[in-house]
Amino acid sequence: MVLRFTQTLTQENWLNFNKIYMKEKNKRRRYLLLSISIISFCMFFYSIYRIWTFFQKDSFSFLSISFTQIIHYCPIDFYSALLFFIVGIELWLIYYKEIDFRIKKMLKNSSNRSFFVEKEFIITNEKIEVTTQLSTSTYEWPIFINCIETNNDLALFLNSSSILLISKKELSQEQLFQLKQLITEKMADSYEFLT
């Protein structure tokens, strides 16, 4: 079986795949960041509660308390509340912005510009040949360590940082069926589907 097609990836294809892949790859780290952030916010509210209960004991009116009184009577609770609030906000921002930051950083790398040139793929039972205007690369099936499929793309991993990304939208149904059949035959143990 010989499968031949030409495609040019867009930045949108690349960004969408990387967002899905990085969310899955860094799932534990992201959950840890979110958990610590939530714990920090809980500790912040607990520290505020301790300050509030301290001033409720005496004849203080909570609305008439000044900043200096809080620092004078409850310095540990005030500074711990401030610390937990800052840590919580930082971790929350890291949780939501980390993937976008990494992807934009990868886009700025000039070596990644080769993703967005027109490529001709020739896929057979023995190898995958990728031809661009400047070069031709040949990969035999055993060299691929992993295959990840998303709703829009198929990614064949050469190592942890090098992939062949194939857009499923640009393939006909028959080509897509043949490609999936080859991947299932050659890489059944290392195939994942991510949503």
pLDDT tens digits, residue range 107-141? 787 777 777 888 999 999 899 999 988 889 999 98
CA 137 → CA 30, 128, 187, distances in Å? 36, 8, 20
Question: Is the pLDDT score of 88 beyond 90?
Answer: no
* Residue carrying structure tokens 């800052």: 86
Q: Would you list the domain boundaries of the chain?
A: 3-10+113-187, 23-110
Tokens of 138: 């040949």
Crossing angle of helices 27-57 and 75-108, rounded to 10°: 160
Question: Is the pLDDT score of 104 beyond 90?
Answer: no
The answer to whether 155 and 17 are in contact (CB under 8 A) is yes
CATH domain 3-10+113-187 topology: PH-domain like (2.30.29)
